[in-house]
Amino acid sequence: MKRLIQRGLMFGNLIEVSSPALVERYNRALKHLTGKTTKLDDFHIDLSGYSPEIGDELNDDLYLNPNGANRQFILLTTAQKDAPLLNIKFSTSRGILTQFIETNEAQLFALTARDAVAGELQNSVYSVDTPAKLFDIRQVTVEADTIGGHVADAGKLAKLIDRFRQEPDGWRDDVLVAEMIGLAKKTGDVTRVPISLPAMTFEQQNFWTSHFGGVYIFRDVRFPAAISSLDWRSLGTVPVPQVMDLSLRNQIADWLERNQLAEPIVQARGMDAAAVLRQKMDFILIDAADRLGIEVGDARRTELRKVAYRLGSALPEEFLGLAALLRWVEAGGPWPKINSEHPAYFYTLRGKAGKDRDLVNMLLAELAPMDVRQMYIVHKELFYAQYATWSERKKTYVADFLAREYQVDREGARTALFGAEPGMDEQQRPEMAAGPKPTRTPGRGPVSGPWGGRR
């Protein structure tokens, strides 16, 4: 992982904590949440306040996420909203924490100027010991306060002020006045500068979790389903009508099409489909050359063409399918017949614009694992696990490519690959619209073509 760290591709944009005051605040919050403290004088924290250095010190990467079900967090600064979230157990956690900080940014800015803010992403499940428990998670509520209880004290003070104003002899109540003064010393004048950090509740209908080897749960779609990275039978009995695993390519393709969750990259508005296809083909060649021990030099496209020539008839089917699609895009070649049994099929798709776009792209990254750029962008947990298994040659190539092509313009790269929200007037090319109409019975054969439908 050293290459990734040096190039800012792992642990990048973490927040440094080095001042004695911030270390002391963090320790108070850590003691409050976990009963533990750190002896480190400086460390780095992510969006949730998790520190990889402290995780190593405590020999516990889940010290802020016991049981992996209700993530706790420590905020020292609102700048944490731009930091990555490490050790993700649920795909929704980053979005929830970011939205919580952005919604309450002014209040959190004022509160973190005095003390650390600690809180929790609460749901009704306290441990996920069976796959069925995942389906009990429907909402996540975020509650937070400073370690000194400024928000709670401000609420108490506000009530006391109302009581003081409403009671005719409130000004004679020495106990009431003394209590108000004592609280005001901690909170300041809440009549002029109110302190409020209300609990926020977020729906969690569709999400990915790393539990049980990795599971995608889609409930808020027309045809609900669960998709497991392990054998689908490992989930046991779960309350959705369709359960699949990644080996069931036809069923997943049919399900994506029926729910209208994916679109062909050659149909996507504003995408340079040819450039994307070429890059996917490069990644596939790198993988093939690495497995066969073929040197790729500096891995420029001219060198990769030589690799393709050497492989000849041994070229991967994924490469050949994308090459046929590229010929259609660039040279008006025949429309390739790529159905869901073809290894290239899921390389031709991306998540359709909408609330589940990123989640669908995570799923597609697992179904098209040689596209390392997409995997890095949308599914870092999977990327890091895969990276650890690669040869030194492939590690070097991928790290250099991502540092050169992605890090310099991350937002631009994401938009180019996955797009912004599309309008309703997207045009289809005639060849795509002319395909046969899909049936609605899953599992009766491969879905044909990247536009959907069946043979």
What mean pLDDT, rounded, does the chain reach?
84
* Joined tokens for residue 218: 């889609």
Structure confidence at residue 331 (pLDDT): 79
Mean pLDDT over 298-306 rounds to 75
Strongest mean pLDDT among 88-102, 318-332, 431-445: 88-102
Strongest mean pLDDT among 120-134, 192-206, 292-306: 120-134
pLDDT digits (tens, 9 = 90+) for 67-123: 888 899 999 999 999 999 999 999 999 999 999 999 999 888 878 888 899 999 998
The tokens 């889609």 sit on which residue? 218
Strongest mean pLDDT among 290-294, 324-328, 407-411: 324-328
pLDDT digits (tens, 9 = 90+) for 186-216: 666 545 555 668 889 999 999 999 999 999 9
Q: Does the pLDDT of residue 155 top 70, yes or no?
A: no
Structure confidence at residue 430 (pLDDT): 35
Nearest-Å Rg of the Cα atoms of the chain is 26
Model pTM score: 0.85
pLDDT digits (tens, 9 = 90+) for 9-63: 888 889 999 999 999 999 999 999 999 999 999 999 999 999 999 999 999 999 9
Give the DSSP letter string of 230-293. S-GGGG-S-SSS-EEETT-HHHHHHHHHHHT-EEETTTSTT--HHHHHHHHHHHHHHHHHHHHT
Least Cα distance to 393 among 320, 319, 307, 321 occurs for 307
Give the DSSP letter string of 108-177. HHHHHTTS-EEEEEE-S-S---SHHHHTT--EEEEEEEETT-HHHHHHHHHHHHHHHHHSTTGGG-HHHH
pLDDT digits (tens, 9 = 90+) for 363-395: 999 999 999 999 999 999 999 999 999 988 899
Q: pLDDT band for position 219 (50/70/90)?
A: very high
pLDDT digits (tens, 9 = 90+) for 398-411: 998 898 888 877 88
What is the three-class DSSP state of 22? helix
Q: Does the pLDDT of residue 159 top 70, yes or no?
A: no
Q: pLDDT band for position 431 (50/70/90)?
A: very low
